[in-house]
Amino acid sequence: MGNDPKVLAYHQAGYAVAALALGYRCYSLAIEDGGKAVCDEPAEHALSLLIASFIAEAKQIGETDIWRDEDDRVRAADLALWIARGDLDTASALLSTVTERTKARIEEHWSQIETIANALAEKGRLSGDEILTLVGKE
């Protein structure tokens, strides 16, 4: 993840929209100090939220490889292994399946990601209520 505030905003917006699409509340987003999203999520959906942020960021900058950062790839792989209880084949299949489903979710909700990312880039921080207002889920 780069240091460009706009890119960070898209990264965080992807996370928030994926959380909302999965039915979870997002309490806040920030781009300072490298970015932070605070959302409810069970372990089963955490992988989707992690992947969503990278897909949104890659789409915004026109990159085809969502795993540009080795640390991000390791985090996703570790989480998939944890969910799969250490089974490598299951973890690999899980990563593939979740990535494809998440790409579709990002495409479906791209306008919301843009709305949130633009507001976040402008303000630097958004509350959960502001996020809900921006996506029309007051």
* Predicted confidence (pLDDT) per residue in 34-44, tens digit: 777 766 667 66
CB-based contact 116:135 (threshold 8 Å): yes
Q: Is the pTM of this model over 0.85?
A: no
Which pLDDT does position 126 carry in this prediction?
Answer: 92
Number of domains in the chain: 1
Q: Which CATH number belongs to the domain containing residue 82 in this structure?
A: 1.20.58.760
Which structural domain range is residue 33 located in?
5-134
- How far is CA 108 from each of CA 17, 47, 96, 116, 119, rounded to the nearest angstrom? 10, 18, 19, 15, 19
Which pLDDT does position 51 carry in this prediction?
Answer: 87
Pairwise CA distance, residues 106 & 114, whole Å: 11
Q: Which percentage of the chain shows pLDDT scores above 90?
A: 25
pLDDT digits 0-9 by tens, 80-129 = 888 787 888 888 888 888 889 899 999 999 999 999 999 999 999 999 99
Question: Which band of pLDDT confidence, cut at 50, 70 and 90, is reported for residue 5?
Answer: confident
Query: How many other C-beta atoms are found inside a 10 Å radius of the C-beta of residue 65?
Result: 9
Q: Nearest Cα to 30, choosing from 120, 129, 114, 116?
A: 120
Whether 72 has a pLDDT exceeding 70, the answer reads yes
Mean pLDDT of 52-62: 89
The DSSP element (H or E) to which 125 belongs, if any, is: strand 125-127
